[in-house]
Amino acid sequence: MPPGGGGPMKDCEYSQISTHSSSPMESPHKKKKIAARRKWEVFPGRNKFFCNGRIMMARQTGVFYLTLILILVTSGLFFAFDCRYLAEKITPAIPVVGGILFFFVMGTLLRTSFSDPGVLPRATPDEAADLERQIDIANGTSSGGYRPPPRTKEVVINGQTVKLKYCFTCKIFRPPRASHCSLCDNCVEQFDHHCPWVGNCVGKRNYRFFYMFILSLSFLTVFIFAFVITHVIHRSQQKGFLDALKDSPASVLEAVICFFSVWSIIGLSGFHTYLISSNQTTNEDIKGSWSNKRGKENYNPYSYGNIFTNCCVALCGPISPSLIDRRGYVQPDTPQPAAPSNGITMYGATQSQSDMCDQDQCIQSTKFVLQAAATPLLQSEPSLTSEELHMPGKPGLGTPCASLTLGQPTPPSSMPNLATEATLSDIMPLKDEHGGHQFLTPDEAPSPPRMLGAGSPLAHSRTMHMLGLASQDSLHEDSVRGLVKLSSV
């Protein structure tokens, strides 16, 4: 091959061949690509999401910001005004321990506030309908009668009967220990309570972080309050009490904040320590679900009977995955199949030609159906003159056609081409003799009118002339038979 032989080959361009035709109603250039949406964007609950769904919080976050301000301001004042003096006069370990407690408190607070507490996904319309159907079958309720809404189911857990309540918002039977939060509008698994201080519900997936937050916060509060008092006392011994307050006014503010908050924080920590040791939730304890007042046989089926085991399960057990998949993509609706192009397939067509042919096919298909309804599909000679009727060797009117050219419809045998009314009277009795018509095969079905040649014997004027000569009853009978045969094919 010569060195320049590859030049013409590089200039060749190949276009993609369209091997299928789209629906006439579809225009490819009009299709718009819909951007995929994530599930957190269409989440039905009253929650706020940040960082593309990675952070999940309740909508009421004002108290959460107050919590952040109190912790940051108090700790900041402590590290700025007290830790410097305490590190020089007492020990440098004080700011180190205070820093560790501070970062642990902030980490557990953000982990509790920004995580999924264990929200249960709502039932889809199909699942809700199936659940209603199962309830109808179980209750034996007729469709015409009034049926009260389903309320509870009963299950047995460790020998204790537990009722499962039906949630009318989520359309599900809540699992054991789950409850619906009215603020977040979600069913939460192992629901404890909704805490405005952390700006989120407290449930199965973030309870351990909530407990570690309030426990570490109680230690941090006691730590700051104790060393603020130590700082003031140490300064008052050198300069007096009033001079000590003047030298460190921030210590007064820190002491006031810690004094009024330490009691509630310590009390809350002790209460949840009791709940963890007995493997209960705040919701169950407030309702008295496992209280002995309800009967001697009433006991907590979720307790392991050992305080150490209950604490290990609550604090060291595996964390269940999130059930809502908030960062997943919303699955689009199943696309409808394209309409058939009435058996016509185009090969080697470009995109513009395909669009034009689709419109032509739609028009031709409509005309084709109308002509098939008006023209009876009966087999006979294409055209016969009065002289050919009596010629020897020629087939008669009742004789099937020996060959038929595809694409040219055949006129009915009850409408031959006649020259005079006398021959019409001679031919009409033949219809009774040959009453059984022979239909065309599917391959010999008439083509659309557009495929007929200009010189076709079935021109419009000649067809109208033949219809005027034929009998109306015979035309109607043959047309109905042709339609039935066409629909059966």
pLDDT for 272: 97
Query: How many domains does the structure of the chain reveal?
Result: 2
Three-class SS state of 137: helix
pTM greater than the 0.85 cutoff: no
Evaluate whether residue 225 is within a structural domain: yes
Say whether pLDDT at 443 is over 90.
no
Whether residues 249 and 161 fall in one domain: no
- pLDDT band at residue 397 under the 50/70/90 scheme: very low
The pLDDT of residue 266 is above 70: yes
In a domain, 293, yes or no: yes
Regarding whether 302 and 161 lie in a shared domain, the answer is no
**pLDDT tens digit string along 177-196?**
999 999 999 999 999 999 99
* 128 within some domain: yes
Q: Are residues 128 and 265 in the same domain?
A: no
399 token code pair: 């004789």
Question: What integer pLDDT is reported at residue 292 of this predicted model?
Answer: 72
- In this structure, the answer to whether residues 96 and 125 fall within a common structural domain is no
Q: Are 50 and 109 within one domain?
A: yes
Question: pLDDT exceeding 90 applies to what percent of the chain?
Answer: 40
Name the residue with tokens 């079905």: 445
Type of residue at 214: I
- The pLDDT of residue 389 is 41
Radius of gyration from C-alpha coordinates of the chain: 44
- Looking at the predicted structure, is the pLDDT value of residue 108 above 50? yes
Looking at per-residue pLDDT, the higher value among 352 and 234 belongs to 234
CA distance 262 to 218: 6
Element (H, E) at 56: strand 55-58
In a domain, 82, yes or no: yes
Same structural domain, 219 and 302: yes
pLDDT of residue 390: 45
pLDDT tens digits, one per residue of 312-365: 999 999 999 999 988 889 887 644 444 433 333 333 333 444 444 455 555 555
Kindly state the greatest CA–CA separation across the chain: 147
Q: Does residue 348 lie in a domain region? A: no
Least confident of 16-20, 75-79, 280-284, 412-416: 412-416
Nearest C-alpha neighbor of 177 from the set 48, 284, 325: 284
Helix axes 250-278, 62-77, angle to 10 degrees: 120
Asked which of 48-52, 253-257, 314-318, 333-337 is least confident by mean pLDDT, the reply is 333-337
Whether 65 has a pLDDT exceeding 90, the answer reads: yes
Picking from 288, 322, 356, the residue at the C-terminal end of a domain is 322
Distance CA 385, CA 388 (A): 5
Distance of alpha carbon 78 from alpha carbon 73, whole angstroms = 8
Mean per-residue pLDDT, 10-31? 48
Please choose, from the candidates 354, 352, 408, the residue with its C-alpha nearest in 3D space to the C-alpha of residue 380.
408
As a whole-number percent, the residues of the chain with pLDDT over 70 amount to 57
pLDDT, residue 53, reads: 92
Does residue 144 sit within a domain? no
Residues belonging to the active site: 195
What's residue 26's pLDDT?
Answer: 47
Question: Residue with structure tokens 């604490």?
Answer: 311
Shared domain check, 170 and 303: no
Alpha-helix runs per DSSP H in 5-152: 6-11, 62-77, 83-89, 93-114, 125-139
* Separation of alpha carbons 25 and 22, rounded Å: 8
Query: What is the number of other CB atoms lying within 10 angstroms of the CB of residue 447?
Result: 14
268 band by pLDDT with thresholds 50, 70 and 90: very high
pLDDT on residue 366 = 52
Could you tell me which residues come within 8 angstroms of residue 358 by beta carbon, excluding any fewer than 6 positions away? 21, 22, 23, 24, 341
169 with 314, same domain? no
> Are 257 and 263 within 8 A, CB to CB?
no
pLDDT above 60 for 289: yes
Q: What is the DSSP string of 233-289?
A: HHHHHHH-HHHHHHH-THHHHHHHHHHHHHHHHHHHHHHHHHHHHHT--HHHHHHTT
Question: Is residue 375 pLDDT above 70, yes or no?
Answer: no
Q: What is the pLDDT of residue 355?
A: 47
Q: Does the pLDDT at position 23 exceed 60?
A: no
pLDDT tens-digit series, residues 123-158: 988 888 888 887 777 666 545 555 555 568 889 998
Q: To 10 degrees, what angle do helices 207-239 and 62-77 make?
A: 40
CA distance linking residue 466 with residue 131, whole number of Å: 66
Domain-located, residue 75: yes
- The top-scoring range by mean pLDDT among 166-170, 223-227, 335-339, 371-375 is 223-227
Q: Amino acid identity of 338?
A: A
Residues 236 and 157 in one domain: no
Please tell me the distance from the alpha carbon of residue 291 to that of residue 307, in angstroms, as a whole number.
18
Q: Which domain holds residue 156?
A: 121-136+149-174
212 is a domain residue: yes
Q: In terms of domains, do 244 and 98 share one?
A: yes
Look at 109 and 350; give whichever has higher pLDDT. 109
Rounded CA gap, 73 and 92, in Å?
Answer: 22
CA dihedral over 282, 312, 178, 53, signed as positive or negative: positive
Say whether both 297 and 230 belong to one domain.
yes
Do both 129 and 82 map to the same domain? no
**What angle in degrees, to the nearest 10, is found between the helix axes of 207-239 and 307-316?**
100
- Please state, in angstroms and rounded to a whole number, the distance separating the CA atoms of residues 477 and 382: 20
Name the band, by pLDDT with cuts 50, 70 and 90, for residue 380: very low
